Amino acid sequence: MAAPKKSVTKEAGQEKGDGSPPEFTKEQELKALRDMLLIRRFEEKAGQLYGMGAIGGFCHLYIGQEAVVVGMQMTLKKGDQVITGYRDHGHMLACGMDAKGVMAELTGRRGGYSKGKGGSMHMFSVAEHFYGGHGIVGAQVSLGTGLAFANRYRENDFVSLAYFGDGAANQGQVYESFNMAELWKLPVVYVIENNRYAMGTSVTRSSAQTDFSKRGVSFNIPGRQVDGMDVRAVKAAGDEAVAWCRAGKGPYILEMQTYRYRGHSMSDPAKYRTREEVEKVRHEHDPIEQVRNRLLAADVSEQDLKSIDAAVRDIVNAAADFAQHDPEPDPSELYTDVYR
């Protein structure tokens, strides 16, 4: 069993340590830019709609973390499964789910992915192999391990990605799952999105071991720390982890060092960190700006980049429009889908 590898950066937003990740092709850079922009613009719009009262309940935005799901999705093939917690809008868009269906679920309308019955934290798409969207911190880790169990049982070569945060990483069932995943050599990549805060508690105040790539050491699961603000680094590490799993070697842990710009949810007073801390990451390490700058340096015109942004805004505006005009679920839906 390979020893846990440590590479790239110490902490998101800091200077790189041991070398840059492999370069992307221009097509890859453009795709990454477009997919990350879609998430960012979508989340900005969701934040607006929440402020207008069109979205209720809890709404957890993914702004700042876009490189993680976009980079990881680039490592997958059709049929690989994805599961995550409640900060899930970005994952759904990255999986190829329709922005209209996601936004309409946020507004609780019949055209939403769950017919308006799931909301922000509970959306699924069997067609896109997205298994939720789970509101209980850590539950998706066992469930995602179960998806991998199914792959192993069926003797196919699909891999499941189980995303969770630095907060969920302290839940007991995570370690129960690690144990069984390694014991049974299940093809699951545990993607720990370390955005430095479990709700309002920083990792240093909640975690005895803040190097999350080491959380699998006692189960012999290899782990790696990754600059989760650099989509290329994410893709490179993801490729390695997914290949490990596909080869039947068991699970793999990736600690994505990332950062959430917005609050934990829309009602976060953000007393636990300074505005300067947020601004520093935003200005120096923004995952989208990094790609933009590389593309501009590679002679892609500002105009071309603007047209990508405009196309993304059109998708998001259409989704927001749909989500506000689509009717609420029919009252008869109250009693459907309890059993099948």
Binding site for other proteins (CB under 8 A): 81, 83, 112-118, 122-126, 131-136, 139, 141-151, 153-154, 172-173, 175-177, 179-180, 183, 336-340
Partners of 225 in beta bridges: 255
Q: How far is the CB of 118 from other proteins (least distance, A)?
A: 4
Angstrom distances, CA of residue 94 to CA of 98, 133, 267:
10, 13, 25
- Residue placing its CB nearer to other proteins in the complex, 27 or 155: 155
- Residue placing its CB nearer to other proteins in the complex, 23 or 176: 176
- Residue placing its CB nearer to other proteins in the complex, 99 or 139: 139
Whether the CA torsion 68, 126, 45, 169 is positive or negative: it is negative
- Residue placing its CB nearer to other proteins in the complex, 115 or 273: 115
Joined tokens for residue 320: 């927001």
- Residue placing its CB nearer to other proteins in the complex, 153 or 248: 153
* Helical axes 231-246 vs 66-73, angle rounded to 10°: 40
Q: How far is the CB of 54 from other proteins (least distance, A)?
A: 19
Q: How far is the CB of 130 from other proteins (least distance, A)?
A: 10
* Cβ atoms of 246 and 28 closer than 8 Å: no
- Sorted by sequence, the CB contacts under 8 Å of residue 160 that are 6+ apart come out as 80, 81, 82, 83, 144, 145, 147, 148, 151, 187, 188, 189
Q: How far is the CB of 247 from other proteins (least distance, A)?
A: 19
Q: How far is the CB of 15 from other proteins (least distance, A)?
A: 38
Q: How far is the CB of 124 from other proteins (least distance, A)?
A: 4
Question: Can you tell me the distance from the alpha carbon of 275 to that of 273, in angstroms, rounded to the nearest whole number?
Answer: 7
Q: How far is the CB of 181 from other proteins (least distance, A)?
A: 9
Question: Can you tell me the distance from the alpha carbon of 221 to that of 258, in angstroms, rounded to the nearest whole number?
Answer: 22
Joined tokens for residue 90: 């970005």
- Residue placing its CB nearer to other proteins in the complex, 50 or 124: 124
- Sorted by sequence, the CB contacts under 8 Å of residue 206 that are 6+ apart come out as 166, 167, 170, 198
- Residue placing its CB nearer to other proteins in the complex, 14 or 220: 220
Joined tokens for residue 299: 């002679």
Residue where the block lists tokens 């298994």: 131
Q: How far is the CB of 305 from other proteins (least distance, A)?
A: 36
- Sorted by sequence, the CB contacts under 8 Å of residue 234 that are 6+ apart come out as 67, 68, 70, 71, 72, 226, 227, 228, 256
- Residue placing its CB nearer to other proteins in the complex, 158 or 244: 158
* Cβ atoms of 33 and 24 closer than 8 Å: no
Q: How far is the CB of 142 from other proteins (least distance, A)?
A: 2
Please tell me the number of Cα atoms within 13 Å of 310 on its side-chain side: 6
- Residue placing its CB nearer to other proteins in the complex, 122 or 273: 122
Residue where the block lists tokens 């998101």: 12
